[in-house]
């Protein structure tokens, strides 16, 4: 999604500047073209050479550097960018932007910028919570700028509270929607992900190796593309985009309850979760001791089939997508699940990929489609699945 995108980073002066170097690296690695404007105070913390090395472009610092102006002036910088990130957005920088003060290269560039802007504030808690800063933020957001953070936590000054720069991954997640078409606006997507856990006693559980990575990626992509997304996440499921409404669950029965609540009349339901097929008939209270018995037998009972249950709802989601993780005969098993569970499509994949970043499989739809999905990563796999869902019933 970032390949070829032109990102301008405006870097304010604060101790959090060092984190922006990682942001620049991540953007560049993702295929974006990155240019940086550094304020004078930012250069006191990190040298421009750092960002030049990371991005491959000169880091711009001075408004009246005539050589730089001929190559890439402030108006040209604003026109070059597809989007702008201001980070760390200090109290001083927010104030100057809010009041239209153009006294350096960054603030002058922002005077003529008509591209999407993402603010990532970072400052002391008292400064963040001050009436002036809050008023300035309201002014900037009222002009259409977007904001991520700040987070709560320990600050560089030794205090704790709001004002910590958001994690660079959160900043990246906040940027993506500003650069992406929104074909799913008005749609509600529900996705379940990860494993479930069934308690044997108060210590031991029945579970599996699923990581929830694919479901989390699908949720992120759908949210970035404009959908209202509910993710029902089993234990250990990866972090997700701030725009995803996440409900954490543990057992299969808990997942069923939340899925049924969220999925009624949804646009899309995607069942990526590796739900335990069985649970213990009589979980033990406390901890089962090794010496309690020489031979132990336990009774397992079947858990409900969540995707089949959702597909049979009176107010069924418009599209129900199941997954079939198999060790062999992948396509045959997927076709059987398609008919038996009355779903719109099944994604068949191999159990060898559970818990890893490897991906690949087949898209099997009720219209008779059988399409191989070859992917380099689970992100690529997720993108292709989204594409197939979009084409379903079109």
Catalytic member of 43, 113, 141, 157: 157
Instruction: Work out the number of other CB atoms within 10 angstroms of the CB of residue 91.
Output: 22
Distance CA 386, CA 215 (A): 11
H-helix or E-strand spanning residue 23:
helix 17-29
> Cα Rg for the chain, rounded, in angstroms?
25
Q: Is 147 a catalytic residue?
A: no
188-193 and 228-233 as β-strands: parallel, antiparallel, unpaired? parallel
Q: What are the residue numbers of the active site?
A: 157
């Amino acid at each position: 999604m970032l390949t070829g995108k032109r990102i301008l980073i405006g870097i304010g002066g604060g101790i959090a500047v060092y984190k922006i170097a990682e942001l620049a690296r991540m953007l560049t690695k993702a295929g974006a073209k990155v240019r940086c404007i550094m304020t004078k105070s930012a250069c006191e913390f990190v040298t421009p050479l750092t960002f030049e090395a990371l991005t491959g472009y000169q880091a711009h610092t001075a408004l009246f550097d005539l050589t730089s102006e001929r190559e890439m002036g402030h108006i040209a910088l604003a026109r070059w960018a597809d989007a702008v990130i201001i980070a760390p957005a200090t109290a001083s920088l927010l104030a100057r932007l809010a009041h239209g003060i153009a006294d350096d290269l960054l603030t002058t560039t922002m005077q003529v910028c008509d591209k999407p802007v993402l603010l990532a504030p970072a400052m002391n808690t008292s400064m963040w919570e001050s009436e002036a800063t809050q008023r300035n933020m309201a002014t900037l957001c009222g002009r259409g700028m977007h904001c991520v953070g700040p987070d709560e936590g320990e600050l560089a000054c030794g205090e704790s509270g709001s004002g910590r720069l958001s994690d660079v991954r959160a900043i990246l997640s906040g940027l993506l929607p500003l650069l992406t078409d929104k074909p799913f606006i008005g749609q509600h997507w529900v996705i379940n992900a990860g494993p479930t856990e069934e308690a044997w006693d108060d210590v031991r559980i029945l579970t599996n190796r699923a990581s929830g990575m694919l479901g989390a990626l699908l949720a992120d992509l759908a949210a970035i593309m404009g959908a209202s997304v509910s993710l029902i996440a089993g234990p250990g499921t990866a972090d997700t985009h701030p725009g995803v409404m996440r409900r954490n669950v543990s057992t299969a029965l808990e997942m069923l309850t939340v899925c049924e609540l969220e999925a009624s009349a949804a646009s899309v339901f995607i069942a990526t979760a590796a739900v335990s097929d069985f649970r213990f008939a009589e979980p033990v209270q406390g901890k089962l001791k090794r010496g309690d018995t020489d031979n132990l037998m336990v009774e397992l009972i079947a858990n409900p089939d969540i995707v089949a249950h959702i597909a049979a709802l009176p107010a069924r989601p418009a599209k129900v997508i199941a997954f079939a993780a198999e060790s062999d005969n992948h396509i045959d098993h997927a076709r059987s699940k398609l008919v038996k569970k009355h779903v719109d499509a099944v994604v068949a994949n191999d159990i060898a990929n559970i818990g890893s970043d490897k991906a690949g499989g087949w898209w099997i739809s009720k219209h008779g489609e059988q399409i191989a999905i070859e992917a380099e990563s689970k992100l690529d796999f997720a993108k292709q699945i989204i594409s197939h869902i979009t084409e379903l019933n079109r």
